[in-house]
């Protein structure tokens, strides 16, 4: 396998050599050779040369990668951007050269072992175990939901208080980060193909490494490490990149469930898209959950506390978290949303149970939810997806800091916003009511409020007075005034006129 000078430097240090490196832009190194003036040096080889040789060689002929078995000679350092490793040792050149050959052979054996495991279709966890043999710190593998799949390596210090404690206890690391930290890391993970370093909380001496795994640019998982044993070196980071490339290849061909978390059951997807599905097929799949087609259901639609991130790349970390809270529901992404379908007969007190769960999701992850009305036939799924999505949109607009929003609470505003998207709301309002709303003074607006209450209470004077907490005579006075303004006898209304006035009173605030 190809190595990097920074990896070779780490290995030499482990063998108790004093090493100093001057690294610029590293390139893969295929092997090691002695420098010879008779041959043109190649950039993809590491050349063994003494200080004396280099002093007698024009800088223009120095190779890109050099290892010098002597202390740095600053007076002779080149101006070119080369990668040089100075090795302070009393051993002979042949002994040093043999050490270097052993390093290449050792890594080649390690690489071949991983390749053989992949050829044999070994489990991805077995491949990670082999890969971790060359890493100085333990490594964790997460799926697209940020759930811990496997970890490998050993700890030379206590994990208490570290991100490892969180990962091993909870199976994920999201609780370790604040909202702002998680948001920033998610953006970086989606835009990067290389390891991302950040500081460990409460311990600036440790760093956290997060490395995205991708397939054709699509996020399929991640690697996580912390410098719990030793600090991250350039060589270790290069090794993580080699492991990343190997795991990406292995994961693409793995039978493990790296893609299962974002799978949408075909019968759910078909119903949500308005396609016809045989009722017997639906019943068959629901029976696997212990559900019946005519049970009581509700649908949840979730929001996420991230902005300006492509949905496919950013929704996944939350699927596992939400599934943990709704283990008996059907949880899947659909149409730029994450939905959960619940059979509410599974809950003794569904209203209280849902409220507690959704409050905790909001407190921990800033996830908010729209909730459909209860429905009683699974084939009606599409209508209640629309309800839940509308409840979330209306709720976030009107009350942005709540954990959840019931569709019924936002039915009226949703109805009129839908109407306004088709035609102007003003065109549906009674002209005189619209004029009072737009031009009337405070007293006239109070008359509209009185009319609205009067019509909602079925034109019952006692109920309306109680609703408005005013005297009956005050109510009669106001009704006379509004009758004059509208030029309508409120005591004798045709059904169509009554409906027109009531809807106008309800719609005007959305004009």
* pLDDT tens digit sequence for 2-12: 999 999 999 99
Cα gap 375→164, rounded to integer Å: 43
Q: 353 with 435, same domain?
A: no
pLDDT at 209: 94
Q: 52 with 172, same domain?
A: no
Given 416, 443, 473, the domain boundary residue is: 416
Point out the least confidently predicted range of 228-237, 320-329, 369-378. Answer: 320-329
Residue 338 has φ and ψ, to the nearest 5°, of: -115, 125
pLDDT at 312: 43
Point out the least confidently predicted range of 121-125, 208-212, 492-496. Answer: 121-125
4 or 312, greater pLDDT: 4
Q: 458 with 402, same domain?
A: no
Query: Tell me, what CATH number does 492's domain have?
Result: 1.10.10.2840
Burial 274-293 (b: 16+ CB within 10 A, else e): eeebeeeebeebbeeeebeb
Percent of the chain at pLDDT > 90 equals 51
Mean pLDDT of 138-148: 81
Instruction: Give 328-375 pLDDT, tens digit per residue.
Output: 899 888 877 889 999 998 888 889 999 999 999 898 878 899 999 999
Query: Tell me, what CATH number does 250's domain have?
Result: 3.30.450.40
Range ranked top by mean pLDDT from 56-65, 265-274, 492-501: 492-501
Q: 51 with 112, same domain?
A: yes
Please check whether residue 151 is in contact with residue 163, taking contact to mean a CB–CB distance below 8 angstroms.
no
The domain of 77 spans 5-116
pLDDT at 260 over 50: no
- pLDDT tier, 305 (very low <50, low <70, confident <90, very high otherwise): low
Mean pLDDT of 256-280: 72
Query: Tell me, what CATH number does 396's domain have?
Result: 3.30.70.270
pTM, two decimals, is 0.59
Q: 323 with 278, same domain?
A: yes
Q: How many domains does the chain have?
A: 4
Token output for 43: 């950039």
Q: 247 with 354, same domain?
A: no
pLDDT at 313: 41
Query: Tell me, what CATH number does 35's domain have?
Result: 3.40.1390.10
Given 416, 450, 466, the domain boundary residue is: 416
Q: 144 with 248, same domain?
A: yes
Q: 189 with 94, same domain?
A: no
Q: 300 with 212, same domain?
A: no
Given 85, 116, 147, the domain boundary residue is: 116
- pLDDT tier, 169 (very low <50, low <70, confident <90, very high otherwise): confident
Q: 272 with 412, same domain?
A: yes
Q: 274 with 368, same domain?
A: yes
pLDDT at 308: 36
Residue 435 has φ and ψ, to the nearest 5°, of: -65, -40
Q: 268 with 222, same domain?
A: no
- pLDDT tier, 311 (very low <50, low <70, confident <90, very high otherwise): very low
Q: In whole angstroms, what separates CA 166 from the centre of its chain? A: 18
């Amino acid at each position: 396998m190809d190595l990097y000078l920074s990896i070779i430097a780490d290995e030499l240090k482990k063998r108790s050599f004093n090493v100093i490196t001057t690294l610029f832009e590293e390139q893969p190194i295929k092997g090691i050779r002695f420098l010879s003036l008779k041959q043109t040096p190649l950039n993809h080889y590491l050349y063994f040369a003494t200080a004396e040789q280099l002093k007698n060689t024009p800088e223009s002929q120095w190779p890109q990668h050099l290892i010098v078995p002597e202390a740095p000679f600053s007076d002779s350092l080149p101006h070119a951007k080369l990668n040089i490793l100075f090795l302070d040792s009393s051993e002979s050149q042949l002994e040093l050269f043999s050490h270097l050959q052993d390093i290449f052979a050792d890594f080649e054996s390690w690489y071949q072992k991983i390749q053989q495991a992949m050829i044999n279709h070994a489990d991805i966890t077995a491949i990670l175990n082999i890969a971790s043999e060359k890493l100085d710190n333990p490594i964790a593998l997460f799926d697209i939901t940020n759930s811990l799949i496997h970890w490998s390596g050993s700890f030379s210090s206590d994990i208490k208080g570290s991100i490892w404690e969180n990962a091993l206890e909870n199976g994920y690391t999201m609780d370790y980060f604040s909202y702002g930290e998680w948001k920033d890391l998610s953006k970086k993970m989606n835009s990067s193909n290389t390891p991302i370093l950040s500081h460990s909380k409460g311990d600036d001496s440790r760093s956290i490494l997060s490395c995205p795994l991708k397939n054709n640019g699509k996020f399929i998982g991640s690697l996580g490490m912390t410098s719990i044993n030793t600090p991250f070196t350039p060589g270790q980071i290069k090794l993580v990149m080699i492991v990343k490339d190997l795991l990406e290849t292995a994961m693409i061909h793995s039978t493990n469930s790296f893609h299962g978390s974002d799978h949408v059951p075909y019968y759910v997807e078909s119903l949500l898209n308005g396609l016809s599905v045989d009722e017997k097929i639906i019943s068959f799949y629901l029976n696997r959950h212990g559900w019946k087609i005519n049970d009581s259901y509700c649908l949840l639609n979730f929001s996420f506390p991230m902005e300006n991130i492509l949905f496919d790349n950013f929704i996944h970390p939350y699927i596992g978290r939400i599934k943990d809270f709704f283990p008996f529901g059907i949880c899947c992404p659909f149409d730029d949303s994450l939905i959960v379908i619940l059979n509410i007969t599974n809950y003794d007190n569904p209203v209280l149970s849902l409220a507690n769960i959704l409050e905790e999701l909001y407190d921990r992850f800033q996830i908010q939810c729209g909730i459909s009305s209860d429905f009683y036939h699974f084939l009606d799924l599409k209508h209640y997806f629309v309800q839940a999505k509308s409840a979330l949109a209306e709720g976030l607009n009107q009350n942005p800091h709540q954990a959840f929003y019931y569709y019924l609470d936002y039915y009226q505003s949703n109805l009129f916003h839908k109407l306004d998207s088709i035609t102007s709301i003003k065109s549906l309002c009674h002209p005189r009511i619209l004029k009072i709303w737009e031009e009337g003074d405070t007293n006239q607006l109070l008359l509209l409020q009185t009319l609205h209450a009067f019509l909602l209470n079925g034109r019952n004077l006692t109920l309306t007075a109680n609703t408005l907490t005013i005297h009956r005579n005050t109510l009669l006075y106001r009704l006379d005034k509004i009758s004059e303004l509208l030029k309508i006898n409120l005591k004798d209304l045709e059904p169509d006129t009554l409906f027109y006035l009531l809807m106008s009173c309800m719609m005007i605030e959305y004009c």
